Amino acid sequence: MRLDKKPLKEYISNLGFFHVGFARTRYLEEESERLENWLNQSYHGEMSYLERYFDFRLDPQKLMPGCKTILVLAMNYFQEPRPLNENQSKISIYALGKDYHKVIRSKTKEIIRWMRTNYGEISARAFVDSGPVLERVWAKESGISWTGKNTLSINPKTGSYFFLTCILTDLEFEADIPIKDYCGTCKKCIDACPTQAIHPDGFLLDASKCISYLTIELKSNIPEEFKGKMDNWIFGCDVCQDVCPWNRFSKQTNVHELQLFDSLKQLTDQEFIDMSQDTFNKVFSQSAIKRTGLTGMQRNIRFNQ
C-alpha cells in the first residue's frame, strides 16, 4: 500500500528543504554506458573513487536491499548580495557557511527518526555525497529538476543553487513525475566557462578541466595550461550558475547554518598565505574549505597571482 506523502513532505520542509521529490527504485540502465564512457575518457581526473562501486551507482537495491522509494531533498544555499572582499579571491557561495555535509546529515537523521516513529520499524539510509548515488539522476526522476547543459540540476522556479541528498527506504510512496529539459538553445554556461570544461553541445563535463575540481579535488599541482584561466577562483567556481537565466529565480537561503561566516568574510589572500595550520584548523573546523586544506588554498592563491 502506498503511503500518504503529505505529512512526510511537511516535516521535511520544516527542516529547511525547499524541494522534496519521490522516485521509484529502479536499475538505471541508460546511465551505465554514459557513466562508463565518461570514466573511460578520464573526465573524472584524479577522483579515482568514482571508478569504484560502479554497479552500486546504477542499482539502489545493492545499496539497500528491499528499497522501494528514493526520497530526493533539495536545500537552498543561495546568498545575495554576493559577499565582496576586494582583498580575497573568489570562493563558491556554497562554502561560505557551515559544511553542508554536517548540516544536511544531521537533518536526514531527524527525518529517519521521524519516519520510524510514524511508520514503525522501517529501513532507511541517507546519503549526503557519501556514497555511490547518482543524486542528479534521481532528482530528475523525482521531478525536482532537470540536468542542465552545465550538468547541474536546475529547477524552473528556484534555479540551481541547491544541495541534493537522497534517502533510500523500503516504504512505498507514489512516484513524482520528472520535469522535462528547459535549457532549450541557451549556451550561456558553455560560452562562459573559463576553462572550457563543458562540451560544446552541453550535458557533458570534463571535470578534470573544471575550476571546482582544480581548486578542491586536485591534490597535485594545477597544470600550467590553466594559468590565467582561473578567473580568480580559489575554492570552487560559480560561473556556469551565475550566467544561467534560471537563477534569476534564486532567493536567499533561510538556512542560517549555510550563511556566511564572519571569520571568513574578513580574511584576505595574504592572511591565507601567512596562516598557520593551527589557525586554519580552528577557523575552518566547521567549513567545507577544510577539504582543500591550508596548503591547497595557498597553492590556489599563488597560482592566480
pLDDT at position 119 over 90: yes
Q: Round to whole Å and give the CA distance between 197 and 204.
A: 9
pLDDT at position 120 over 90: yes
Q: Round to whole Å and give the CA distance between 10 and 7.
A: 5
Q: How many domains does the chain have?
A: 1
Q: What is the mean pLDDT of residues 145-172?
A: 98
Please report, to the nearest 10 degrees, the dihedral formed by the alpha carbons of residues 190, 194, 195, 201 taken in order.
Answer: 10
Strands 90-91 and 233-235: parallel
Cell numbers for 219: 591534490
pLDDT per residue as tens digits for the range 258-299: 999 988 988 999 999 999 999 999 999 999 999 999 999 999
pLDDT per residue as tens digits for the range 170-200: 999 999 999 999 999 999 999 999 999 999 9
Helix axis angle, 6-14 relative to 100-119, nearest 10°?
150
Q: Which of 83-87, 131-135, 222-226 has the lowest mean pLDDT?
A: 83-87
Cell numbers for 31: 546511465
pTM beyond 0.75, yes or no: yes
Beta bridge mates, 98: 287
pLDDT at position 212 over 70: yes
Q: Round to whole Å and give the CA distance between 235 and 291.
A: 10
Q: Round to whole Å and give the CA distance between 122 and 168.
A: 11
**Cα→Cα distances 244→154, 205, 263, 274, 305, Å:** 9, 16, 30, 36, 28
Q: Which of 199, 194, 198 is nearest to 228 (CA)?
A: 194
Q: How confident is the model at residue 86 (pLDDT cuts 50, 70, 90)?
A: confident
How many other C-beta atoms are found inside a 10 Å radius of the C-beta of residue 176?
17
Beta bridge mates, 70: 23, 168
Q: Round to whole Å and give the CA distance between 83 and 292.
A: 21
Range of the domain at 254: 1-305
Is 129 an active-site residue? yes
Q: What is the mean pLDDT of the chain?
A: 96
The catalytic position among 55, 99, 129, 201 is 129
